[in-house]
């Protein structure tokens, strides 16, 4: 079984890409909604939650885990790999592919504060974007809109303009979606940005990496199950927009791990 974990429902975008490539593998998705959102939390707290959530997926039988959250990957990917023996895939903003396609040498990154302030993001920029102007935009309110299932409302559209219009005015020709939640807003984002600006979404590359590692684990029946550390009723409606017919179960017996 492959376990996929996020602070909320944004990682369902990665789950869908994985399921498309690996339809015969069983998948467990865990939303840590008891601690959502991760943005205001300290890096140490996010790291501990990541260790506990991945530990819970392993206890359920995961032979491979995907941390489908940029903030959790930034805070905890190295500790996770040191603590657990199974392969662990993380996500990170697509700085490298953005730099590869930009013509103006100006790119924008839409993400959460936790991701943008993390050491992992700084390393990405230093490694791949030394000669590129990188304009970052923290957009935590968009995460809240997606989590509430408000994908195409006037409020969400207004927020997108608030975050994207400065990037357009700055002359960027490439925008990186640095949060898995933003995938669900990509159609509207593309409409606002126009055809001349490239949008970078890393869901598919993460799924491809997962598929490569999944060659080492047994296939299942293709069953997909959803779990939450919080109240299932709070995310059931929004989850239904993302995965037709999905039901979510409460997760019990979380391990306690220190980062």
Write out the catalytic residue numbers. Answer: 69, 179
Sign of torsion, CA 91 180 212 218? Answer: positive
* Nearest Cα to Cα of residue 30 among 255, 191, 204: 255
CB-CB contact of 175 with 193 (8 Å): yes
Helix 154-169 × helix 186-193 angle, to 10°: 40
Q: Do residues 70 and 6 make contact, with C-beta atoms less than 8 angstroms apart?
A: no
Residue 182 C-beta-side C-alpha neighbours within 13 Å? 28
Q: How far apart are the C-alpha atoms of 150 and 147, rounded to whole Å?
A: 8
């Amino acid at each position: 079984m492959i376990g996929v974990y996020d602070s909320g429902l944004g990682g369902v975008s990665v789950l869908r890409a994985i399921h498309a490539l690996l339809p015969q593998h069983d998948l467990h998705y865990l939303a840590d909604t008891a601690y959502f959102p991760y943005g205001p939390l300290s890096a140490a707290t996010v790291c501990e939650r990541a260790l506990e959530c991945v530990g819970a997926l392993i206890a359920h039988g995961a032979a491979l885990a995907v941390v489908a959250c940029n903030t959790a990957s930034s805070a905890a990917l190295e500790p996770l790999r040191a603590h657990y023996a199974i392969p662990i895939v993380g996500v990170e903003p697509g700085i490298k592919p953005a730099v590869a396609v930009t013509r103006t040498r100006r790119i924008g990154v839409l993400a959460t504060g936790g991701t943008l302030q993390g050491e992992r993001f700084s390393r990405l920029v230093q490694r791949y974007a030394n000669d590129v102007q990188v304009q970052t935009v923290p957009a935590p309110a968009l995460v809240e809109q997606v989590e509430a299932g408000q994908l195409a409302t006037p409020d969400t559209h207004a927020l997108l303009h608030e975050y994207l219009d400065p990037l357009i005015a700055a002359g960027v020709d490439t925008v990186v979606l640095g949060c898995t939640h933003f995938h669900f807003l990509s159609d509207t984002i593309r409409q606002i940005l126009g055809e001349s600006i490239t949008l970078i979404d890393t869901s598919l590359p993460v799924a491809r990496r997962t598929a490569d590692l999944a060659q080492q684990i047994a296939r299942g029946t293709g069953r997909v199950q959803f779990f939450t550390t919080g109240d299932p009723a709070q995310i059931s409606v929004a989850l239904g927009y993302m995965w037709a017919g999905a039901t979510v179960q409460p997760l019990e017996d979380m391990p306690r791990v220190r980062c």
